[in-house]
């Protein structure tokens, strides 16, 4: 819990600051707190949050997945193709895409587990490979549903009305379900316990009779599957995917969200709640900038600076706490 205190405080500070700064004294309205804005924000948190959980799945095993953005691209290109060009019904198309992305994860896992290739190398190649293949597959044409597929797009753009003009965006609900299931898996099941043991010390876990290979496979499959799910939501949301840049850099956002949320890159450490907070922060910051600043030129700089400051403050506070409460039983 102490691990996520820092990020929780940081998030709170940013949220309050944005609410104060974006307040329009003239009209008395507050764009940040408007139902419309919160709804959009929740939608993005849902979409990117799923990606961060995907990243966290592999990171807790001590691995890394750099191909997340390219898997998003695969989902973003294949789903419209199935729906629009092949006319596959949505109920079949989405599971097909998820199956395909899960297969990608399986492939990563097999390369890592059987051939003992470094996860960084395998997924870096994946990053290049899948995007390249999608460029050839789409012939560099933009993929979208056009004006068809209104029904299935509800998954990404729909809301469950809560009254007062505010509706819970479906992607947020999907994210909450994914987060809850993941948290249950990690904390309450044998698989979760074994996953974390493997991440902390793969050799000791193996010596303890844990089926490390199968678990690692599982982590990669879960990661790519969730990336595929998020990819579906993204393309259903924006309705436009260009293979050369759809999902570009999303692996970094995903990993940043997870790491910000206290998931340790050396493996064996992480809380789903932390990942959720990290993902929130990653989405609130650009929203802040868009609502407060005159342009979004400084967006990257601000996001980078805030994450760094957050990490630094977190570390400093933790040390200070450790110094104040030493040893004694």
Partner 1 sequence: MALAARGIDKAFAGVHALRGVDFEVRAGEVVALVGENGAGKSTLLQILSGSLAADAGQVRVDGEAVTFRGPADAMARGIARVAQEPQQCLQLSIAAAVFLGAELRRGWLLDDAAMVAASRTLLARLGLDVDPQQPVGSLATGQRQLLEIARALRAEAKVLILDEPTSSLTDVEAERLFAIVDDLRAAGTAIVYVSHRLGEVQRLADRVVGLRDGRNSGELARDQISHQSIVGLMVGREFAHATRQPRAPGEVLLSVRGLVTSAWPQARVDLQVRAGEVVGVAGLLGAGRSEILRALFGVDAPLAGTIEVAGQPLHGRGPAAAAAAGLALVPEDRQHQGLVLGHSVADNLSLPTLHRRGWRVAPQRERELAAHWCRELDVRAASPALRVGSLSGGNQQKVVLGKWLAAAPRVLLLDEPTRGVDVGARGEIYARLDALAAAGLAVLFVSSELEEVFALADRVLVVHQGRITGALPRDRFSEQTIMLLATGQSLDSDEVPA
Partner 2 sequence: KGAAAARPKVAFVSNCVAEFWAIAQRGAEAAAKEQGVEVLVKMPPTGTAAEQQSILEDLLAKGVRGIAVSPKDPANMGGLLDQIAARTLLVTHDSDAPASKRLAYIGMRNYDAGRLCGQMIREALPKGGPIVLLVATLDQDNARGRRQGIIDELLGRSVDAARFDAQDAALSGNGFEIRATYTDQFDPQKGKAVIEDALGRWQDLAGVVGLFEYEPPLVLEAVKAAKRLDRVKVFGFDENDQTLQGIVDGEVAGTLVQNPYEYGYQSVTLLARLLQTPDEAQRRALLPAGGFMDIPARRIDKSNVRAFWDDLKQKTGRK
Number of Cβ atoms within 10 Å of the Cβ of 180: 11
Of 3, 135, 193, 206, which one interacts with a second copy (CB under 8 A)?
Answer: 135
Question: Which of residues 40 and 200 has its CB atom nearest to partner 1 in the complex?
Answer: 200
23 binds partner 2 (CB under 8 A): no
Q: Can you tell me which of 183, 201, 248, 290 binds partner 1, judged by CB under 8 A? A: 201
Cβ proximity to partner 2: between 145 and 272 the closer is 145
> Shortest gap between Cβ of 246 and partner 2 (angstroms)?
7
Asked whether position 110 contacts partner 1 by CB under 8 A, the answer is: no
Part in contact with partner 1 (CB under 8 A); list of ranges 102-110, 123-131, 145-153, 198-206: 198-206
Task: Name which of residues 209 to 238 contact partner 1 (CB under 8 A).
Answer: 209-211, 213
C-alpha 215/C-alpha 238 separation (Å) is 34
- Told to check if 175 binds partner 2 by CB under 8 A, we report no
Rounded CA gap, 229 and 295, in Å?
31
d(CA 274, CA 278): 6
Give whole-number Cα distances, 253 to 210, 286, 320, in Å: 32, 12, 29
- The residue count for binding partner 2 (CB under 8 A) is 50
Instruction: Confirm if 306 and 14 have CB atoms less than 8 A apart.
Output: yes
DSSP state of 163: S
- The site string for partner 1 over 164-193 (x = CB under 8 A, - otherwise) reads -----------------------xxxxxxx
Segment lying near partner 1 (by CB under 8 A), choices 23-31, 135-143, 197-205, 281-289: 197-205
User: What is the 3-class SS of 94-151, one letter each residue?
Assistant: HHHHHHHHHHHHHHHHHHHHCCCCCHHHHHHHHHHHHHHHHHHHHCCCCECCCCCCHH
243 phi and psi angles, rounded to 5 deg = -55, -35
Q: How far is CA 69 from CA 34, 35, 74, 161, 164, in A?
A: 31, 30, 9, 31, 36
Per CB under 8 A, which of residues 223..282 are in contact with a second copy? 252, 255-256, 259-260, 264-265
- Report CA torsion sign: 260, 39, 229, 66: negative
Chain centroid to CA 303: 16
Q: Which of 16, 35, 36, 140 binds a second copy (CB under 8 A)?
A: 140
Give me the residues that bind partner 2 (CB under 8 A), please.
22, 24-27, 29, 31-32, 34, 36-37, 40, 44, 47, 135, 138-142, 144-147, 153, 157, 234, 237-246, 248-249, 286-287, 290-291, 293-297, 299-300
Give me the residues that bind a second copy (CB under 8 A), please.
66, 111, 115-118, 120-122, 124-133, 135-136, 139-140, 252, 255-256, 259-260, 264-265, 297-305, 307-308, 311-312, 315-316
């Amino acid at each position: 819990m102490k691990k996520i205190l820092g990020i929780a405080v940081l998030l709170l500070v940013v949220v309050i600051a944005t609410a104060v700064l974006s307040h329009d004294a003239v009209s008395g309205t507050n764009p940040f707190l408007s139902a419309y804005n919160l709804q959009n924000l929740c939608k993005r948190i849902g979409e990117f949050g799923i990606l961060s959980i995907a990243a966290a799945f592999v990171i807790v095993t001590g691995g890394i997945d750099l191909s997340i953005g390219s898997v998003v691209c695969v989902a973003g290109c294949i789903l419209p193709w199935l729906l629009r060009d092949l006319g596959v019904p949505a109920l079949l198309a989405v599971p097909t895409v998820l199956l395909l992305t899960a297969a990608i994860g399986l492939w990563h896992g097999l390369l890592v587990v059987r051939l003992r290739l470094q996860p960084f190398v395998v997924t870096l190649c994946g990053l290049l490979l899948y995007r390249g293949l999608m460029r050839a597959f789409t012939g560099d044409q933009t993929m979208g549903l056009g004006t068809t597929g209104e029904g299935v797009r509800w998954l990404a753009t729909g809301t469950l009305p809560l009254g007062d003009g505010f509706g819970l965006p479906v992607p947020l609900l999907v994210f909450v379900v994914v987060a809850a299931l993941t948290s249950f898996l990690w904390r309450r099941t044998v698989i979760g316990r074994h996953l974390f043991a493997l991440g902390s010390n793969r050799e000791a876990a193996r010596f303890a009779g844990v089926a490390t290979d199968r678990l690692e496979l599982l982590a990669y499959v879960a990661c790519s599957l969730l990336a595929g799910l998020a990819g579906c939501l993204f393309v259903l949301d924006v309705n436009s995917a260009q293979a050369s840049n759809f999902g570009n850099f999303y692996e970094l956002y995903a990993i940043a969200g997870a790491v910000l949320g206290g998931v340790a890159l050396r493996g064996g450490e992480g809380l789903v709640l932390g990942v959720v907070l990290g993902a929130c922060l990653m989405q609130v910051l650009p929203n802040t900038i868009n609502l407060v600043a005159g342009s979004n030129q400084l967006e990257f700089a601000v996001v980078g600076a805030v994450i760094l400051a957050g990490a630094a403050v977190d570390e400093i506070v933790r040390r200070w706490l450790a110094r104040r409460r030493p040893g004694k039983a």
